[in-house]
Amino acid sequence: MIPLQEASARRREIEDKLKQEEETLSFIRDSLEKSDQLTKNMVSILSSFESRLMKLENSIIPVHKQTENLQRLQENVEKTLSCLDHVISYYHVASDTEKIIREGPTGRLEEYLGSMAKIQKAVEYFQDNSPDSPELNKVKLLFERGKESLESEFRSLMTRHSKVVSPVLILDLISGEDDLEVQEEVPLEHLPESVLQDVIRISRWLVEYGRNQDFMNVYYQIRSSQLDRSIKGLKEHFRKSSSSSGVPYSPAVPNKRKDTPTKKPVKRPGHEHDFRVKHLSEALNDKHGPLAGRDDMLDVETDAYIHCVSAFVKLAQSEYQLLMDVIPEHHQKKTFDSLIQDALDGLMLEGENIVAAARKAIIRHDFSAVLTVFPILRHLKQTKPEFDQVLQGTAASTKNKLPSLITSMETVGAKALEDFADNIKNDPDKEYNMPKDGTVHELTSNAILFLQQLLDFQETAGAMLASQETSSSASSYSSEFSKRLLSTYICKVLGNLQLNLLSKSKVYEDPALSAIFLHNNYNYILKALEKSELIQLVAVTQKTAERSYREHIEQQIQTYQRSWLKVTDYIAEKNLPVFQPGVKLRDKERQMIKERFKGFNDGLEELCKIQKAWAIPDTEQRDRIRQAQKNIVKETYGTFLHRYGGVPFTKNPEKYIKYRVEQVGDMIERLFDTSA
């Protein structure tokens, strides 16, 4: 029974679920029908909306296109009006700018250049769009007038504001290199800064818009004149300073107050030694005439020229710096070349005049004037690297001017050295010109002084000599080679001097005076060599020169001492009579002793009288010679007096025994002393 109940319950459950499912299905059908209805309604709405939208579009698009066309037309009208205004403005440029152009750019360069820019644009417009328009000619004429005014303003600014550099400033600029206390360079303001900026703007406008290079000629002509005048002003400053005070002065160095200048002697640029030719006219002129004042003038001219050379280098460097701001780059070298020509030619001409004067001096045997070439040549060679740097990029003819002058000076210098050596060798034996007291001859002091002057210019003189050599070894121009040439030259001069002195010594009739003369000269030469670097130079090619001079000196002393033999021979033992002590002298023997005493006395008095007027300037040598002679004579006389002083050879012994031994020594001690 139980299973039937369970089946019945199961059946009722299934029937209930089936009923529920049917109800759900019915609900779904109702929902689908509603959805379909809604869809149909939505499709109907959308179709209506699409239809309306299409109608709206068909109405709006024509309006939009019409509006767009209207906007484009408006823009075209505005552009046309703007173009018309722009074009019309060109027709007014001439009238708007004519007054400004007529009045010129002075004091209002900015406004003036703005007006010129407007005119330039007007010219370009009419050339492109209306080349036959009368307006084109009008603005062209106005442009040309404006350009001429700018050129005139450029010239005016350069002329009014370009100032000559004062000699005082130039000297400070030059001496600043050698003054260790001065660290800052002396500024050179060729043009005020505001003026310089105006000049630069005008030059750039003339190059870019004016298509004009004439202003470059104006520039170099004006600056060339100022450079030339600056250097000439420095030279004149030296002349005036030398005539008033004897020494040119420079004011205070930079950074010191301008109202408290400090005088200081000007240094010669690049020189460790300040060369002076003072007194050389008398010492080296074969005429030996009074030339008072000429030496100082030579010295001033030399200093002035050397400073002018240094000034040219410094000023030219400064000019190039200024030129770089004003002149276009591709025209700078050519313009600079033209700018420096007058000043450079002036220096070179003056240098050639110095060379010409030196040649004339050589002909006159006036070697003092020739010596001015040496410091100048040395300075030119020292300055040449700076010169070459400054002239870099200039024409070959410009670059070659300094080397040509250096070559001329080396040639004339070498000629002077050669002629001086020949002059020493061939100086005539003028009897009236020989020193009466046998002292140092003028030719000797002149020659030594000349050689000593060369010590300050060893490299320069050596290079002069080397420049005339044609051997392959000379091509190197080494320092050692030049030094050997100079040593050889000095030895040649000394050799020529020695030969001439030997010849001159023969003018003296007294061999003793001739010996004193040669002794004095040889001793003077030796001492002069030893006191200077000449002995080291001589030793380069002649090692035994010092010993040779000492031998010559000793030889002349011995020759001099032989002059006393005629005095001492009277009382020499070999010439004395022999007699037995205590034996009465015969008349012949007494007479012989009298003659010996008389001969000695007369000879002593004669020699002392003569030789007292002779001179030996060297105190050491004078004392040595007198002492040696005194010892010889005193010893010989003492022996003679000891032997015969007590012999009764005369009734008047005081007549013959006139001097004691010490008196004889005192007489000899007064030799070579004109004051005794």
Residue 125 has pLDDT above 60, yes or no: yes
Look at residue 257 in the predicted model and tell me its pLDDT. Answer: 31
Residue 491 pLDDT level (bands cut at 50, 70, 90): very high
Q: Which residues pair with 421 in a beta bridge?
A: none
Look at residue 198 in the predicted model and tell me its pLDDT. Answer: 92
Give per-residue pLDDT as tens, 351-361. 999 999 999 99
CB 324 within 8 A of CB 332: yes
Look at residue 576 in the predicted model and tell me its pLDDT. Answer: 67
Euclidean distance between CA atoms 249 and 237, whole angstroms:
9
CB 312 within 8 A of CB 231: yes
- Choose between 554 and 242: higher pLDDT: 554
One DSSP character per residue, 297-348 reads HHHHHHHHHHHHHHHHHHHHHHHHHHHHHHS-HHHHHHHHHHHHHHHHHHHH
3-state secondary structure of 561: helix
DSSP letter at 211 equals -
Give the number of other Cβ atoms within 10 Å of residue 101's Cβ. Answer: 21
3-state secondary structure of 44: helix
One DSSP character per residue, 423-477 reads HHHH----GGGS-TT----HHHHHHHHHHHHHHTTHHHHHHHHHHT--SGGGGG-
Residue 115 has pLDDT above 90, yes or no: no
Separation of CA 314 from chain center: 9
Residue 469 pLDDT level (bands cut at 50, 70, 90): confident
Look at residue 51 in the predicted model and tell me its pLDDT. Answer: 81
Look at residue 580 in the predicted model and tell me its pLDDT. Answer: 62
Q: Which amino acid is at 158?
A: M
Residue 318 region by backbone torsions, left for phi larger than 0, else alpha for psi between -120 and 50, else beta: alpha
Euclidean distance between CA atoms 80 and 324, whole angstroms:
48
Query: What's the mean pLDDT in 321-346?
Result: 93
pTM of the model: 0.73
Contacts for 599 with CB less than 8 Å, ≥ 6 apart = 567, 570
Euclidean distance between CA atoms 669 and 629, whole angstroms:
9
Look at residue 513 in the predicted model and tell me its pLDDT. Answer: 95
Q: Of 136-145, 260-269, 344-353, 472-481, which gets the smallest average pLDDT?
A: 260-269
Give per-residue pLDDT as tens, 28-58. 988 888 888 888 888 888 888 888 788 777 7
> Among residues 456, 449, 438, 457, which one has the least CA distance to residue 497?
449
Q: What is the mean pLDDT of the chain?
A: 82
> Among residues 251, 231, 227, which one has the least CA distance to residue 168?
251
- Choose between 307 and 644: higher pLDDT: 307
Look at residue 97 in the predicted model and tell me its pLDDT. Answer: 80
Tokens 């005070």 — which residue?
A: 245
Euclidean distance between CA atoms 425 and 198, whole angstroms:
69
Residue 185 region by backbone torsions, left for phi larger than 0, else alpha for psi between -120 and 50, else beta: beta
Give per-residue pLDDT as tens, 563-607. 999 899 888 877 666 666 666 778 888 888 888 899 999 999 999
Euclidean distance between CA atoms 350 and 509, whole angstroms:
51
Q: Which amino acid is at 117?
A: A
> Among residues 532, 461, 456, 477, which one has the least CA distance to residue 271?
456
Look at residue 276 in the predicted model and tell me its pLDDT. Answer: 30
Give per-residue pLDDT as tens, 593-646. 888 899 999 999 999 999 999 999 999 999 999 999 999 999 999 988 888 888
CB 655 within 8 A of CB 661: no
Q: How many residues does the chain have?
A: 676
Query: What's the mean pLDDT in 382-406?
Result: 93
Q: Which amino acid is at 434?
A: M
Tokens of 251: 């004011």
Q: Of 281-290, 385-394, 630-639, which gets the smallest average pLDDT?
A: 281-290
Q: Which amino acid is at 45?
A: I
Euclidean distance between CA atoms 149 and 208, whole angstroms:
16
Contacts for 3 with CB less than 8 Å, ≥ 6 apart = none
Residue 456 pLDDT level (bands cut at 50, 70, 90): confident
Residue 15 has pLDDT above 80, yes or no: yes
One DSSP character per residue, 523-557 reads HHHHHHHHHSTHHHHHHHH-TTHHHHHHHHHHHHH
Look at residue 477 in the predicted model and tell me its pLDDT. Answer: 57
Beta strands in 162-287 (DSSP E): 249-250, 264-265
Tokens of 290: 């009074």
Query: What's the mean pLDDT in 326-354?
Result: 93
DSSP letter at 270 equals T
Query: What's the mean pLDDT in 304-312?
Result: 94
- Choose between 292 and 351: higher pLDDT: 351
Phi, psi of 183, deg, nearest 5? -100, -30
Look at residue 87 in the predicted model and tell me its pLDDT. Answer: 58
Work out whether the CA dihedral 328, 333, 336, 338 comes out positive or negative. Answer: negative
HSE-up of residue 531 (Cα within 13 Å, Cβ side) = 10
Euclidean distance between CA atoms 552 and 520, whole angstroms:
11
CA–CA–CA angle 276, 278, 283 (5° rounding): 120
Residue burial 67-99, b: 16+ Cβ < 10 Å; e: rest: eeeeeeeeeeeeeeeeeeeeeeebbebbeebbe
Residue 214 pLDDT level (bands cut at 50, 70, 90): confident
Give the number of other Cβ atoms within 10 Å of residue 581's Cβ. Answer: 5
